[in-house]
């Protein structure tokens, strides 16, 4: 009888152990979000280029004294899957949401507390951007293309007092192909 009790205890223990080995573990769930846009164009805009983010970090107001520009952040617009049988060149037209009222060559700060300065761009041909006018043409190659530009911060005028604070602005761009 003692052996039977011992055998019965072993069977029960084995059952509990095997049941825990088959215990249900909760699954991990997630989501893959997919998005894009099909366009009838010579090139597509890479995801990294919409929007292109320019972070100037912290710029001392003294860096803008005597009409100097500061920041000078080099960025680029990336085009993907370009087809040169469709177009050979591209030109970019930049247009800010708001033009600086004291210096029309600069995009205005549209939010934040900084005042007395704005943002300008140098195009791929190393020329100052004139808002609403096409940049120097870029010769396209099949595949990936990069259109560089430089963004900078500048005081509205040489005599402007620049007020420190945060700022944001947006500049839209349109790429036309020839």
> What are the tens digits of pLDDT across the range 44-91?
999 999 899 999 999 999 999 888 899 999 999 999 999 999 999 999
What's the mean pLDDT when you consider all of the chain? Answer: 89
Looking at per-residue confidence, does 160 or 125 come out higher? 125
Residue 60: count other Cβ atoms within 10 Å of its Cβ.
10
Confidence band for 172, pLDDT divided at 50, 70 and 90: very high
| Distance from C-alpha of 153 to C-alpha of 58, rounded to nearest angstrom | 11
| Distance from C-alpha of 24 to C-alpha of 14, rounded to nearest angstrom | 18
Residue 18, pLDDT score: 52
Residue 50, pLDDT score: 85
Q: Structure tokens of 1?
A: 């009888």
Which 3 state secondary structure label does DSSP give 176?
strand
Residue 67, pLDDT score: 84
Report DSSP letters for 143-157, one per residue: EEEEEEEEEEEEESS
Decide: 117 and 132 in contact? Cβ < 8 Å.
Answer: no
Residue 70: count other Cβ atoms within 10 Å of its Cβ.
17
pTM of the model: 0.80
Looking at per-residue confidence, does 30 or 21 come out higher? 30
What domains are defined for the chain? 44-177 (2.60.40.1090)
Residue 140, pLDDT score: 97
Residue 2, pLDDT score: 55
Min mean pLDDT across 11-15, 25-29, 121-125 is at 11-15
| Distance from C-alpha of 81 to C-alpha of 151, rounded to nearest angstrom | 26
Residue 118, pLDDT score: 95
């Amino acid at each position: 009888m003692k052996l039977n009790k011992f055998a019965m205890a072993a069977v029960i223990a084995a059952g509990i152990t095997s049941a825990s080995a088959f215990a249900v573990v909760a699954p991990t769930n997630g989501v893959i979000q997919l998005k894009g846009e099909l366009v009838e164009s010579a090139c597509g805009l890479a995801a990294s280029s919409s929007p292109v983010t320019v972070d100037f970090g912290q710029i001392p107001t003294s860096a803008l004294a005597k009409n100097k520009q500061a920041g000078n952040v080099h960025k680029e617009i990336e085009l993907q899957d370009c087809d040169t049988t469709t177009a050979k060149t591209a030109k970019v037209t930049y247009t800010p949401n708001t033009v600086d009222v004291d210096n029309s060559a600069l995009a205005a700060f549209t939010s934040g507390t900084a005042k007395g300065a704005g943002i300008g761009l140098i195009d791929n041909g190393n020329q100052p951007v004139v808002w609403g006018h096409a940049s120097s043409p870029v010769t396209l190659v099949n595949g990936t293309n990069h259109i560089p530009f430089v963004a900078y911060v500048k005081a509205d005028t040489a005599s402007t007092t620049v007020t420190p604070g945060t700022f944001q602005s947006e500049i839209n761009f349109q790429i036309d192909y020839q």
